[in-house]
Structure formats: structure tokens, C-alpha cells
Structure 1
Amino acid sequence: MSTATTSPADRLVPGPRALAVSGLSILRRHPLLVVLALMVLVFQLTTGSFLDTGNLRGIATDAATLTIVAVPLALLVISGYLDLSVGSTLALGGLVAGRLAGQHQSPVVAVLGALVVGGAVGALNGVLCCYLGLSAFIVTLGMLTAVRGLAQQLFPLPLSSFGSGFAWLGGARVAGVDAPVVIAVFVLVVGALFLALTPAGRHVFAIGVNREAAYLSGIGVRRTPFALFVVTGAAAALAGAIKASVLDSAVSGTSGAGFELTVLTAVLLGGVALAGGSGSVFGVLLGVLFLGCLQNGLTLLNVPAFWQQMAQGVALVAGAALARFGPRLTR
């Protein structure tokens, strides 16, 4: 009697059925992937240039700053908190970096200055929310206005002409890839590894699911989200520095205006639960790409700006519906 044997290679390579099951599992967790693919197809058919290399590069560059902030904000939301001040922090970070660069400081000094300022804003949010127990929604909504007012007080006039040294942050290329995209990929990888492989990453989920149970298990229910507030603030300031470098200008009244809504939309579209406890970095990437492709495609079609804003609002509502009913549709 003979028995069939399989080599180690056969056991390592998944068969068609395993691949189908794996693909279906991904669609159940991330139904936005299907919507994104269909949207790309529609934009390509209607514009004829959506998938051109130059246009895709533009989408990636524009999405980079959003990704840099969306990943740490997603971790913060998973832990049960929220930061609505990221737009104002982005503006302040860009202004601080621009001022330092305009004073002929080293580009590294300019970026570090922005990181320190952004981290300080995040630390203040963290103290008020994590250690004093104030509502994250109310605190960060107040900080949105306060930080914007501080930026306008410190920098009442627009800043520009930061010098060629500072331009590397937004214009340099690494192995043919724009520097902001490289930074965004680094943030994505670090965020994914943090959630998947570190105890602190598991603590983020535990705190978001049940804060009291996490506390009784010995998890630092204050320390972990406080650190996420600091990182989110620093990331927003870094994104502001990148924007200032790309535009070679920064304006306190308009820089980052509405950015908090855009980044929160990307996070929620990516499947991160606003109540905390669930989400993934891959989902956040899908949310960022969805918004980037949507805005770019509508721009190519010459859709007016106010319709684009309406589309973003509809996308947020659609994302909520997709998160609610999408998994049922793919069963």
C-alpha cells in the first residue's frame, strides 16, 4: 500500500483553495480594498491618465504627509483616545521649521525644532487626557483653536524662501523615490511592527477594548496612550515641516486647515473603530490611498472644490456603512 507524500516545498506553497480563502479573509477585513480598486478603474476609464507614472507619483507624494500622521493617530484611536489638534500642530510645526530654516539654521535643526514643538503639544494633550482624565474630544478640540491662535500670534506674517538646504526634506529623492514617501513607508512599517510584534502594541488594543481590565492586568493605561499623544503631535509637526519644504512657504492662518478632518476620515475609512479596540495599519493605508485617489481623480475630472469636499464627507459616511455591513456582504 503506497501513501502520497508531500515535500516541504509543497507544504510551504499554498494551493489555490488556500489562496482563495486567504483572499476572501482579506476582503472581509478590508472591504474598502474592493471599493478602491473599482474607483481606480473608473478614474482610469474616464480620464485616461489616472494610472500614468507621473500622476501616481503625485498621489503618493500627496498621501505621504497624511500617512505620517494617520498611522500614529490610528494607534491613539485604537487605544480609546482622539486628537483633533493635529491640523493646528501641523501648521505650528511647519512655521517653526520654516523660521529656523529661514534663519540659516541646519535643516536637521529645523526639523528637530518642529518635532520638539509638536511633541510638546502632544504631551500637553496627554497630561490633560491620560493623567487628569479630561475628555480627549473636548481637550483636543480646544487645543485645535489654541494652537492655531498661538501660531498666528508667533507668526502673524507668511513665511517663505527657506533656502535650498531645507528643500531636501520635501524634494530629495532616495533611490528614485521622493523623500516624503520614504518617510511615510518607514512610519507604516514601524507602526505595523509595533502593533504586531511588541507587548506595547498588544497593550494598545487591550486599553481600547477595556481600560479597567487592562489596568487590573498591570498595563500602563496612562503611560501608553500618553506616549501615543506625544508621537502623534511630533508626527503632525513633521508633516508640517515637509509641507513647508515642498511649498517653500507657510501661513499660520491656512496651513493645515481642515487637516484633522481629512486624517480622521482616513483612519475611520481604514476600519479603525472610533470607540477603540480594533484597527490595523494596512487598513489605514487603504483609507489614505482611497482619499488620495478620490481627490486626485476628481481634480483630473475638473470637479469643483466644494463638490470634492462633499465627496469627502460622503466617503466618511460610506466608510461607516462599509465597516458595519461590508463583512456581511463578503460572507
Structure 2
Amino acid sequence: MTELHPLTSATVLARRATRPWWMLGGHAGLIAVMLVLVVVTTFGSDAFLTANNLVNVLRQVSVIAVIAAGLTVLMIAGGIDFSMGSNAVVTMALVAQLIAGGADTGMAIIVGLVAASAIGLVNGLVITFTSVAPFVATLATATLLDGLALFILNGMSVSAGEALYTFGNGAVLGVPYLLIAAAAVCVVLGLTLRYTSFGRNAFAIGGNEDVARLSGIAVARTKVLLYTLMGALAGLAGVMMLARLAAASPGVAGLTIELQAVAAVVIGGTALAGGKGTMIGTALGVLLLGIVANALNLLGVSSYLQQMAVGTVLLIAAVANAWQRRR
């Protein structure tokens, strides 16, 4: 069998990842699982297919969708950021404290987004120029940020009042503002991956970083920009959480949010080793996790079993991902 040149291989990976949208990126099996779950839950609970419940599910998954969309781009480029959830919690705490202290809402949000982007930039610089494994560096950052969030809140809940109530609980034509924001992020990042040189560079770096560097791609700059973007998206997710909850609480666990996002990305088919992934798959993964959580609640399943269910789904998806990659 003829062996492809490494650069040609990276190009092929990028082309495979940009299949026409109507092919759904080969996620027919995932869609089938979702349909089966919907049918089973519908028979088990009359409340599942009601408009209020469906809107609630979409509102709940919006924050995870923003983080998962960013992780998709980063994992395609061969990276990982386990600090995004914790970064979001820090942003939520910082913005809440600023608003509670009398700061203008818009200025508080800007400060929170800048701080979150700076955290992402630091992650990118450490990972790119010290050769520390992304998993280790960002997990350490996540631990640091969890403590920082508690320090900012001083261990107490801080209310943001009515400042972000409309954004967190309002809707236009029945569509929640949070969902619109999440959909916008997914669409923009999906188009970026498909139609821009930045997106193609991400696929090439994830496919083979050395070949990408030899082909003229500014690998270091691209990776730093990616991690900075992850920080900004984490900040947006934090603002969305604050808008939805109306308060920053020390009980919100950043690592739990992060693991849910990672699960959604892996379930959606993004390769853990990089070079492969679609935004459609991630969106389906986020929706599947949201439906699973909602279904278990409606069916009266214990919250402990819900965590086990998410872990089981992630493990199965990871095994299927690895099996498909070997094929």
C-alpha cells in the first residue's frame, strides 16, 4: 500500500474533518442513541416532551456547550485544557463581587473576560515554551483557580442581583438568550475550523505537529492563541453561569463542569490525540449528556447513579473513539 507523505496525511485529516454538513460528520450512531433515549424517556415521563422541559434542558446545557466548543478546537490541535471549568468559576466569582461592590455591569463583565483570557494566555505560554504536558499544566491551574474562586468569594455566596437576570432567564421567540449565545459560539468556531487557515492549521498541528512546523505553520503562536481563546470562552461561560444562577456560590465545582465538557467532546468523536473532530459532533454530545441528566431526573434515578451514568457514557465513548481510530 502506498504510504502518504506526512504533509499529505495532515492535509487529508483536514479534508476529512470538513465533510459537507448534511453528512453530520458520520454521527448517525450518536443520533440513533439520542432518539432511543428520547423515546424511552417519553414513555417513562409525560413531562419530558413539554415545551418548558425542553427549553430548560437547552438552557442548562448552554454553559457546557461553550466550554465544549472551545475544547473541540483545542483537542483537534492536539491540546487539552482542564482548567476551563475552574476559570469559568473564577470569572463568575470576580464579576459577582464587582457587581455587588457597585461596579457597572458591562465593566465588570469586561474585567472578568480579560482576566479569564489572561489565565488562558499563561496556560498557553507555559505549555508552549516549557514543554510541560498540557494535562499536567492545566490540571495544576485548575486546582489553583478553584482555591482562587473560594478566596474571591471568601467562602460565601455573592448575589449579582438583577443585573444579568434577563440574559440568564429571558428568551426571544421562546429561544433562551443563553442558548443563542452558545449556538453563536459553536457556529463561529465551526465555520472557523472549516473555512479559515487558522482552522486548517489546528487540524495540521493535531495531525502531526512536527510536519506542521516544517510546512511553515507558526505552531507556537497558534497554540498560544488557542489557549488564550480557551480562556476567553471560559470567561464567557462564567458570565453565563452567573446570569443563570444570579449568584456566585462556593459550591459550584469547576472540575465537574470541565469533565462534563470533556465527556461531551469525546462522545462527539473528537480524537484525544488530535487531528480529528467536528463541532456538530460536540453539539450532539452536549445535547446527549443534557438529555441523559434530564431523563434520569424525571425518572427519579438517584443523583449518585447519575454521576455513574455520565462516567459510564464517557468510558464507552473513549473506548469507541480509540477503536475507531485504530480502524
TM-score, scaled to structure 2? 0.88
Q: Hey, what does 2:89 align to over in structure 1?
A: 91
In the TM superposition, what is the alpha-carbon distance from 1:149 to its structure 2 partner? Answer: 1.5
Q: Deviations over 1:101-145 (max 9, x none)?
A: 212322221221221111111111000012222110100010111
Q: Deviations over 1:71-102 (max 9, x none)?
A: 01110011011001112111101001111221
1:226 is aligned, of 224, 227, 243, to: 224
CA gap of 1:201–1:173, structure 2 versus 1, over 3 A, is same
Is 1:37 the counterpart of 2:3 in the alignment? no
How many residues are matched?
308
CA distance in 1, matches of 2:192, 2:68: 15
Q: Which amino acid aligns with 1:93?
A: T
Q: Which amino acid aligns with 2:261?
A: V
Q: Which has the larger radius of gyration?
A: 1
Q: Hey, what does 2:117 align to over in structure 1?
A: 119
CA gap of 1:78–1:24, structure 2 versus 1, over 3 A, is closer
CA gap of 1:237–1:25, structure 2 versus 1, over 3 A, is closer
Q: Hey, what does 2:56 align to over in structure 1?
A: 58
CA gap of 1:275–1:328, structure 2 versus 1, over 3 A, is closer
Matched position secondary structure for 1:164: coil
2:183 is aligned, of 182, 185, 189, to: 185
Q: Which amino acid aligns with 2:47?
A: S
CA distance in 1, matches of 2:260, 2:119: 20
Is 1:132 the counterpart of 2:152 in the alignment? no
CA gap of 1:23–1:144, structure 2 versus 1, over 3 A, is closer
Q: Deviations over 1:281-316 (max 9, x none)?
A: 000001000100000000001111110000000000
Q: Hey, what does 1:19 align to over in structure 2?
A: none
Q: Hey, what does 1:261 align to over in structure 2?
A: 259
CA distance in 2, matches of 1:84, 1:27: 26
CA distance in 2, matches of 1:250, 1:75: 28
Q: Deviations over 1:264-288 (max 9, x none)?
A: 0011001000100000000000100
Is 1:275 the counterpart of 2:273 in the alignment? yes
CA gap of 1:25–1:88, structure 2 versus 1, over 3 A, is closer
CA gap of 1:136–1:257, structure 2 versus 1, over 3 A, is closer
Matched position secondary structure for 1:222: helix
Unaligned runs of 5+ in 2: 1-19
Q: Which amino acid aligns with 2:274?
A: G
Contact kept in structure 1, 2:83 and 2:255, CA below 8 Å: no
Q: Which amino acid aligns with 1:176?
A: G
Q: Hey, what does 1:165 align to over in structure 2?
A: 163
CA distance in 2, matches of 1:300, 1:110: 37
1:248 is aligned, of 246, 249, 261, to: 246
Q: Hey, what does 1:205 align to over in structure 2?
A: 203
CA gap of 1:177–1:26, structure 2 versus 1, over 3 A, is closer
Q: Deviations over 1:36-71 (max 9, x none)?
A: 111111111111221111110011000100111110
TM-score, scaled to structure 1? 0.87
CA distance in 1, matches of 2:295, 2:80: 30
CA distance in 1, matches of 2:23, 2:233: 32
